[in-house]
Amino acid sequence: RTTFIERTNIINSMRRFFNEQDYLEVETPILQPIPGGAAARPFITHHNALDIPLYLRIANELYLKRLIVGGYEGVYEFSKDFRNEGMDRTHNPEFTVMEIYVAFKDYQWMMDFTEAMLERTINEVKGTTKITSGDKELDFKRPFKRVTMLDAIKENTGIDISEMGEQELRQTCKDLGLEVDESMGKGKLIDEIFGEKVEQYLIQPTFVMDYPVEMSPLCKKHRNNPELTERFELIVNGKELANAYTELNDPIDQKERFQEQLRLSEKGDDEAMYIDYDLVTFLRYGMPPTAGMDIGIDRLVMLLTNK
C-alpha cells in the first residue's frame, strides 16, 4: 500500500514542477496507424469499423511534437506505452512514461531542467536527495556527472570506436565477447557495446551525451559534429532512467533518417522505425527548435521505493 501511495506522490510532485512552468498536460492517442517515436516491436490490433490495422503506441512523442508545431510552447503527458518485447526486472510490455517537449530549448537546457526536477521531486517525497537502492546509496543532488557516450566506452573498454565503420564495430563486438548478427547496423552495434560494457558501471546519476547519429533517428545532429546527435540519457544504478534530445526539426534530414531505418528493416531488424510521412509533413509546416525528454515512471518508483 505504501508503495502505491509513494508512486502517486512522485507523479504529483513532477506534475507540480511542470505546471509551475505553465506547461500543459495533454492526452494523445494510444491506438495509432503507425507506431512511432521509438525503436520497438509494437502490439497490433484491428479496428473493425474502419477495417484497418492499428498499433498500440510504443511512444507518444510524435503526437506531442504535433502540438509543438501547433503553437504550444510546452506540453507533457503521463502515458501508458506498450512494447511487444521481452520481459525482465526493468522491462514490462506495458509501462508508464512521462514525456515533455519545450519549444525554443535544446538538450543542454533539458539536462539542467531534468536535474532540477528530480532533485526537487526526490527531496519532496523522501525529505533528502540521498536514497538507498539495494546496497548502494545514490545522491540526486545537482549537478549530475556528464560524459559523452564515446568517452564512456573508451573509459570502460579502452577502445576508441569514434572512427569505426560497421564491419570494424562488428569485429570489436566479437572481440569483446558480445553476441551480434548481420541484421544489426552501426547504431545497434554501438548500443550493444555500451549496454554490455559500460551502463552497469554508471551508478550515481550520470548524463551520457552525444550519441552517434545511427542510434537516434529522431534527434538533431550535433552542432559541432554531424556524426553525433544532441542526445542524452540519464543512467542511474546501471539503468537508463531518462532519454532526451534536441529534437530533429529538419524535414529533409528526417526523411533520410527514416529511409535508413527502412534499410535496417529490410536487413531483418524488427525494431526499426516505420516511415512516418505525417511526421515529415508536419515538420515541413515548421517545428521550432525543441527539447524533448522522457522518463520511465516505473523505474523511478522502483528506485525511490527500493523495490
pLDDT tens-digit series, residues 156-211: 999 998 888 888 999 999 999 998 888 788 888 988 999 999 999 999 999 999 98
Which three three-digit cell numbers place residue 248?
Answer: 530533429
* Sign of the torsion angle spanned by Cα atoms 253, 255, 256, 262: positive
Give the number of other Cβ atoms within 10 Å of residue 20's Cβ: 9
Q: Are 160 and 166 in contact (CB under 8 A)?
A: no
Q: Are 35 and 61 in contact (CB under 8 A)?
A: no
Query: Tell me, what's the pLDDT at 186?
Result: 84
Rounded mean pLDDT, 119-134: 95
Least confidently predicted of 34-43, 48-57, 125-134, 137-146: 34-43
Map grid coordinates 545511427 to a residue: 214
pLDDT at 277 over 90: no
Query: Tell me, what's the pLDDT at 229?
Result: 93
Is the full-model pTM beyond 0.85? yes
pLDDT at 111 over 80: yes
pLDDT at 35 over 90: no
Phi, psi of 123 (to 5 degrees): -60, -45
Q: Of 63 and 271, which is predicted with more confidence?
A: 63
pLDDT at 84 over 90: yes
Q: Predicted confidence band at 73 (pLDDT cuts at 50, 70, 90)?
A: very high
